Chains A and B, each alone.
Chain A
Amino acid sequence: MSVQQTFICLAGGLLLLPAVCLAQAEIDFFRDNDRTAWSWDLASGIDTYLHTYALALDDTSEALAEFMVQAGFQGRSARQSRHRWRLRAEASTGTELWRQRLEGDYRYLDKGRVTRFRLLGHFWGRQYKQTTEYVLSSDNLEGRLEARVYPLVGRTAALDLRAWGGLIDYKTPSTLEVDYKDAGGGVFVRSQTLGSHMWGGGVRRARRAYPDSSEIDRDTWSVEADYDYQNLDGQGIRLFHKSDRRLIADETVRPSAWTHWTDLNSLVNAGAGQVYLDVQSEIWKYDQETDVYIDSWLTQTALGYRWGDVLSAIWKAGPVLERLDAGDSPETYTQLGVRAGVESYGSAVTGSVTLEYGRRIYDQGEVALDDGSGDIAGFQTIDLYTDFNYWKIWLLGSWRISRKFSLDFLANYEPENHTEQTDDSAIGFASLHLIWRP
C-alpha cells in the first residue's frame, strides 16, 4: 500500500467516523456505577512496521502499512453486584485483514464480597485479504478460556486454583502456521490484605500439543513467586521470580530446557525525586545445546533518577547495562547506554518521549580460522556479529481532543550502526489511531 493510498484511507476513515456515530446515536447507554453499563467506541487508524536489514549485500527495507476501522462494544456489571462481569466485542476491517475479538471476565463474590469464582476468556479471529502484504496469510482463530476457583480465603491469603485451555486453529496449516492446543492447571496463593505488602506464588503445569507435529509437543512445569511493597510516599520494591522446566516429546528435534527469570524494580526517595533500579535476569539452560539453542544468561539493568510532578512532567535519566553471557558463543555481548525521558499525564495530553543511545560490544563476535599449518600467515577471520552503536527512540502519546474524541499515537525506531556497514539494520513501528467514545 503506497503512502498516498494510506493517507487517503486514513482521511476517509476519519471522515467516516462522525457519520457512523450519528447513525448510532439513538442507542441508550447507562453510565451509573450502580447499574450495568454499556459503552461503545469507534476507531480509525494506521499501523506501520519497518524493518531494514542487509539482504545479499544490498540493503532491504520492508515496510508495511495497515489502515483499519474498528468498532467496539463493551459492557460491565454494576460495581456493587455480586456477579461482576466485563465483556468486550470488537470487529475491524483493514487493508490487510478483518479481525474479530471477544473478551470476557466474570466474577462471583460471596456475601462478604470475596471473589470465589472467576472465568476469563478471549477469542480472536483473523481473516486475511487476498491482497494482503503479510507473508503468512492463513485465516485463523485463537482462543483461551481460564477458570479460577478460590476455595479458601483467609484473613491474610487466598488459595487460587486455576485451569485453562487454549488453541490456535489455522484454516490452511503450513510449516510456519501450525495448529496447537494448550491445557493446564495451577495452584496459587495470594495475599488478601490491602496493606503495603502484597505477595503471591504458585505452581503451574501446562501442556501444548501440535496435532501435525507431535514431536515438538511440550510439557511445562513452573514455579513462581512475587512480592510487592509500596509505601504511602511512593517508595517500594517489586520482586518476581519464575523457574520453568520445559520437556519436549522428541528431544532429538528440540532440546528440553530450564528457564529462570527474575525481575526486580525498586524506587527510593532521594532529594526532590526518586532513584529507580530495574534489574532483569533470564537464564536459559538446555539439556543439549545445538546451533540455535544456546545456553545463555541475560541481565538487563537500568539505574537512574526520576523527578518532577506527575501532571506537569516527570523526567528520568540514567545508565542502562545489558549483558548476554552465552559462554564462548559469538552471541556473548555487553551493551552500555544512557537513557533519558520525559512523561506527562495531563488532562488533555498524555505522552512520553524516551531516548537511549549506547553501544553493544561482542566478546568474540569474530571467529578465526587457520589452515592447519601453524603458520600465523594462515589465519583468517570472519565476523559473525559486529559491534554497533544504537539509538532507541520511543514516542507515546494521547491527545484528548474533546470529551469524546482522542488521538492515540506511538512510534518506536531503533537503528543500529555497525562497524561492518553491511550489518547495519533498523527496526521500527508506528501507530496513529483516532478514537471516538460516545
Chain B
Amino acid sequence: MNTMTCHHTSRKLNRAIVFGILVLVLAGLFPGQAAAQMGGSDQIQAYIERTEELLIWARGLVAETQSVPARRVLGQAADLHRRSMGMMSTGHMLEALAVSRRSRAAMWHSVRLAREAMGLEERIRIRVERFRDQHSQLMERATEAGNKQAIEFLRRSERSAIRAREQYHQGDFKLSWKMLEHAGDLMRRSARLLADGASPERLEQEMDRTRMLIERASERLGDNPDPQARKLLAEAEEALVRARQGMDQGHPGRALQMSGLARRLALRAASVSGTGPDEEAVVRQLDRFDERSGRVADKVRDSGSKQAREMYERALQHRTRAAEATADGDREMALRQIKAAHDLLGQAEDLIR
C-alpha cells in the first residue's frame, strides 16, 4: 500500500493534531479504491481489512457521543462489513469490494453525525438552563399581569421544551435542538406580547392615552359643526367603549385593536377639522396634571410605597420636560411628555390603590 498524506486544498495543515485520526481514516480509502480498480484479490482483501480498522476507529469516536442516529448508522456500516467479509471468504471478491465501499460510506456518515451531535449536545445543555430561568421569570410576569395569551404561549413553549428534552434523552440531538428553538421562539413571542402592551397594566395606560386623545380632539373641535368630524369622533368613542369591554372580558388583543382604532379615528377627526396640537391644549393638559398630581401626592407619601414614590417622581420629571418643550415651542414633544407624565401618575395611583 502506498504511503499517503492528507492536506486541505486551500489552507495549510495547522490543525494536524485535530485531524490526525482523520488522516489515518482517509489514508486507507483511496489506495483501496485504486487497488480495486486494478481488480487484484490481494488489493481487495487489503481494502476490506482497512475498512475494519476504520470501523474500529469510528466506533471509538461515536462512543464519545450519546447520538443514537450515529450509532445506528455505524451499526449498519458494521453489518455491511460483515457481509463483505462473508463474500470475500466465498471468493466473490468484486461483490465483496462493492459492499465494503458501502460500509465505508456509512461509517463516514456516522462520523459526521457524531461530530454534529457533539456540538448540539453541548449547546442544548446551556440553552436549557437559560430557557428555564427565562420561562420562570416570564411566567411570573404573565401570571401577575393576567395576560392569558402570554400564559398560553408560555405553556406551549414549556410543552415543546419538555418534548425537546425527551428527544435529547432519546439521543436525537438535532430534533431536540429544533424543538428547543421552537420553544424559545414561543417564549420570545410571549415576551413580545407582554412588552407590546397586551397586559392589563399596559392596556390601562393605552386606554387612558386613547381617552385623552379623544378628549383633546373633542376640545379642539369645540363648536365646529363639521358632520364628518363629529361622526368620526363618535365612532372613536364607540371603539373605546368596545376596547373597555374587551379588556373587562379578558380579551387584551381585542382591547388593543379597538383602542388603536379609537386613536386612529380621533386623529382623523382632528385632521378633518383642520386642527393640530396647539399650545392651549398642552397648557390644559399641564393644568390637568397639576390638579391630579396634587391629589395623588399625599396618598403616595402616606402609602410608604417606594415604587409608587419613584413613579410619582418620574411623572414630575416628564411634566417639567413638557413645560420646557412648551416654552421652546415644540408642542408635539410637549404633548408626548405630558402624556408620559399622566401615564406614570396613573401607575403610581395603581400601586397605592
Contacts A329-B18, A394-B182 given; indicate if A345 touches B175 (C-beta within 8 A): no
Within 8 A of A (CB), among B94-152: 102-103, 105-106, 108-109, 111-115, 118-119, 122-123, 126, 130, 136, 139, 143-144, 146, 149, 152
Q: Is the Cβ of B3 less than 8 Å from the Cβ of A372?
A: yes
Distance (Å) between the CB of B199 and the closest chain A CB? 12
Q: Is the Cβ of A294 less than 8 Å from the Cβ of B18?
A: yes
Q: Chain A residues near B156 (CB, 8 Å)?
A: 398, 408, 410
Q: Is the Cβ of B307 less than 8 Å from the Cβ of A194?
A: yes
Q: Which of A47, A240, A294 contacts B115 (CB under 8 A)?
A: A294
Q: Is the Cβ of A49 less than 8 Å from the Cβ of B195?
A: no
Q: Chain B residues near A76 (CB, 8 Å)?
A: 143
Q: Is the Cβ of B196 less than 8 Å from the Cβ of A195?
A: no
Distance (Å) between the CB of B55 and the closest chain A CB? 13
Q: Which of B8, B178, B256, B340 contacts A414 (CB under 8 A)?
A: B178
Q: Which of B26, B136, B144 contacts A367 (CB under 8 A)?
A: B26
Q: Is the Cβ of A369 less than 8 Å from the Cβ of B30?
A: yes
B169, CB-defined interface residue at 8 Å: yes
Q: Chain B residues near A289 (CB, 8 Å)?
A: 17-18
Q: Chain B residues near A57 (CB, 8 Å)?
A: 102, 105-106
Contacts A372-B3, A429-B179 given; indicate if A309 touches B343 (C-beta within 8 A): no
Q: Chain B residues near A195 (CB, 8 Å)?
A: 310, 314
Q: Chain B residues near A175 (CB, 8 Å)?
A: 63
Q: Chain A residues near B185 (CB, 8 Å)?
A: 394
A272, CB-defined interface residue at 8 Å: no
Q: Chain B residues near A369 (CB, 8 Å)?
A: 4-7, 26-27, 29-30
Interface stretch of the complex, out of A1-9, A16-24, A381-389: A381-389
Q: Which of B29, B112, B257 contacts A310 (CB under 8 A)?
A: B257
Q: Is the Cβ of B64 less than 8 Å from the Cβ of A136?
A: no
Q: Is the Cβ of B307 less than 8 Å from the Cβ of A429?
A: no
Instruction: Tell me, in angstroms, the Cα distance from A242 to B133 when the chains sit together.
Output: 13
Q: Is the Cβ of B8 less than 8 Å from the Cβ of A54?
A: no
Q: Is the Cβ of B189 less than 8 Å from the Cβ of A311?
A: no
Q: Chain B residues near A25 (CB, 8 Å)?
A: none
Residue of B nearest to A51 (CB): B175
Q: Is the Cβ of B15 less than 8 Å from the Cβ of A292?
A: no
Q: Chain B residues near A382 (CB, 8 Å)?
A: 26, 29, 108
Q: Is the Cβ of A234 less than 8 Å from the Cβ of B175?
A: no
Instruction: Tell me, in angstroms, the Cα distance from A309 to B257 when the chains sit together.
Output: 8
Q: Is the Cβ of A136 less than 8 Å from the Cβ of B343?
A: no
**8 closest residue pairs by CB, A with B:** A311-B257, A56-B106, A292-B118, A328-B15, A368-B9, A380-B30, A155-B306, A345-B253
Interface stretch of the complex, out of B68-76, B272-280, B293-301, B320-328: B68-76
Q: Is the Cβ of A367 less than 8 Å from the Cβ of B109?
A: no
Instruction: Tell me, in angstroms, the Cα distance from A428 to B161 when the chains sit together.
Output: 16
Contacts A140-B169, A368-B8 given; indicate if A329 touches B30 (C-beta within 8 A): no
Q: Which of B6, B163, B310 contacts A368 (CB under 8 A)?
A: B6
Q: Chain A residues near B260 (CB, 8 Å)?
A: 309-310
Q: Is the Cβ of A49 less than 8 Å from the Cβ of B4?
A: no
Q: How many residues of A contact B (CB 8 A)?
A: 91
Q: Is the Cβ of B102 less than 8 Å from the Cβ of A56?
A: yes
Residue of B nearest to A253 (CB): B64
Q: Which of B106, B179, B195, B253 contacts A55 (CB under 8 A)?
A: B106
Q: Is the Cβ of A56 less than 8 Å from the Cβ of B311?
A: no
Q: Chain A residues near B10 (CB, 8 Å)?
A: 363-364
Q: Chain B residues near A312 (CB, 8 Å)?
A: 257
Residue of B nearest to A192 (CB): B307
B90, CB-defined interface residue at 8 Å: no
A40, CB-defined interface residue at 8 Å: no
B80, CB-defined interface residue at 8 Å: yes
A173, CB-defined interface residue at 8 Å: no
Distance (Å) between the CB of B342 and the closest chain A CB? 11
Within 8 A of B (CB), among A268-306: 282, 284, 289-294, 296
A232, CB-defined interface residue at 8 Å: yes
A236, CB-defined interface residue at 8 Å: yes
Q: Is the Cβ of B126 less than 8 Å from the Cβ of A259?
A: yes
Q: Chain A residues near B13 (CB, 8 Å)?
A: 328
Instruction: Tell me, in angstroms, the Cα distance from A195 to B348 when the chains sit together.
Output: 11
Residue of B nearest to A115 (CB): B140
Q: Is the Cβ of A290 less than 8 Å from the Cβ of B64?
A: yes
Contacts A135-B170, A136-B68, A369-B26 given; indicate if A291 touches B18 (C-beta within 8 A): yes
Q: Is the Cβ of B26 less than 8 Å from the Cβ of A427?
A: no
Contacts A294-B115, A367-B6 given; indicate if A49 touches B175 (C-beta within 8 A): yes
What are 9 A-B contacts defined by CB distance under 8 Å?
A53-B113, A136-B170, A234-B195, A289-B17, A310-B198, A345-B253, A363-B10, A364-B9, A384-B112
A27, CB-defined interface residue at 8 Å: no
Select the residue from A242, A292, A347, A381 with max chain B CB neighbours within 10 A. Answer: A292
Q: Is the Cβ of B8 less than 8 Å from the Cβ of A328?
A: yes
A12, CB-defined interface residue at 8 Å: no
Q: Chain B residues near A352 (CB, 8 Å)?
A: 189
A124, CB-defined interface residue at 8 Å: yes
A366, CB-defined interface residue at 8 Å: yes
Distance (Å) between the CB of A119 and the closest chain B CB? 12
Please, what's the 1-or-0 string for A224-245, where 1 marks a CB less than 8 Å from any CB in chain B? 0000001010101000101010
Q: Is the Cβ of A135 less than 8 Å from the Cβ of B68?
A: yes
Instruction: Tell me, in angstroms, the Cα distance from A367 to B29 when the chains sit together.
Output: 12
Please, what's the 1-or-0 string for A408-422, where 1 marks a CB less than 8 Å from any CB in chain B? 101010100000001
Instruction: Tell me, in angstroms, the Cα distance from A279 to B278 when the chains sit together.
Output: 43
A322, CB-defined interface residue at 8 Å: no
Q: Is the Cβ of A367 less than 8 Å from the Cβ of B118?
A: no
Within 8 A of B (CB), among A127-184: 134-136, 140, 155, 168, 175-177
Instruction: Tell me, in angstroms, the Cα distance from A342 to B290 when the chains sit together.
Output: 44
